Amino acid sequence: MIIVGSVRPGRVGLPIAEWVRSEAEKTGDFEIDFVDLAELNLPFMDEPAHPRLRQYTQPHTIAWSERVDAADAFILVTPEYNYSYSPALKNALDFLNREWWMKPVGFVSYGGVSSGTRGAAALLPTIVSLGLVRVGPNVELTFGGKQVVDGVFHPGEKELAILARELKELARFADGLKPLRATD
Ligand SMILES: Cc1cc2nc3c(=O)[nH]c(=O)nc-3n(C[C@H](O)[C@H](O)[C@H](O)COP(=O)(O)O)c2cc1C
């Protein structure tokens, strides 16, 4: 599952995530569910019970839960906003709990001068809390918006190489973690 973390009109996150999707498709290793949080349009977390209990009351939560349950690995494409990551992404993560557990996750972060590194670092406590397993390689784009021309992201050699490693690790971790989930 590739999650587009930014929801602003004119966001550069969408073309960056579309590039991630096309590279993931080329590997032949993945069946991709592309989640644009702007389209998913979740409200602020509105469930009365802790998500760990799975006592969901809202149709949007039930649909989101089923979709994330079906995924074996994630790439979170997130901008850096004020030294942190996208609040829409935090909200989407917070909605669920066990659905994320013991599944691998990789980041594609971008920002201004920071390359989204502080946003990616801010994601770590949430990832740990949910039991997601982070893979090492992390695509980081300095002023990523400058690489978007006419709505298309143009990667450099470095970004292509890191994303390839990230995808390879995600595929391996997805296979490795599946049996561990099955024994729970
Ligand atoms: C509200 C806001 C806060 C931002 N804060 C940071 C920041 O702390 N560090 C940084 O490097 N860039 C920051 N930026 C720049 C964004 O990371 C950059 O414009 C990015 O491309 C935005 O992603 P988006 O177009 O997908 O929303 C900020 C942008 C916005 C809109």
Could you give the percent of the chain with pLDDT greater than 70? 99
The ligand 1 atom at the shortest distance from the C-alpha of residue 16 is 26
Q: What are phi and psi of 174, to 5 degrees?
A: -60, -45
CATH code for the domain in which residue 83 is found: 3.40.50.360
For residue 46, name the pLDDT band (cuts at 50, 70, 90).
very high
Instruction: Among 81, 83, 110, 118, name the best residue to mutate to test ligand 1's pocket (greatest count of ligand atoms within 8 A of Cβ).
Output: 81
Q: Please report which residue ranges of 28-133 form alpha helices under DSSP H.
A: 37-40, 59-69, 87-94, 117-130
Q: Domain total for the chain?
A: 1
Q: Is pLDDT above 90 for 184?
A: no
The ligand 1 atom at the shortest distance from the C-alpha of residue 5 is 26
Q: Are 109 and 116 a contacting pair, CB within 8 Å? A: yes
Give CA–CA dist 49/86, Å, rounded.
Answer: 24
Taking the centre of ligand 1 as the mean of its atom positions, its distance from the CA of residue 183, in whole angstroms, is 41
Q: Is pLDDT above 90 for 141?
A: yes
CB atoms within 10 A of CB 160: 13
Q: What is the DSSP letter of 97?
A: S
Q: Looking at residues 172-182, what average pLDDT do you find? A: 95
Cβ 119 under 6 angstroms from ligand 1:
no
**Helix pair angle (117-130, 87-94), 10° resolution:** 10
The ligand 1 atom at the shortest distance from the C-alpha of residue 82 is 8
Q: Is pLDDT above 90 for 183?
A: no
Q: What is the DSSP letter of 77?
A: E
Domain span including residue 98: 2-182
Taking the centre of ligand 1 as the mean of its atom positions, its distance from the CA of residue 63, in whole angstroms, is 30
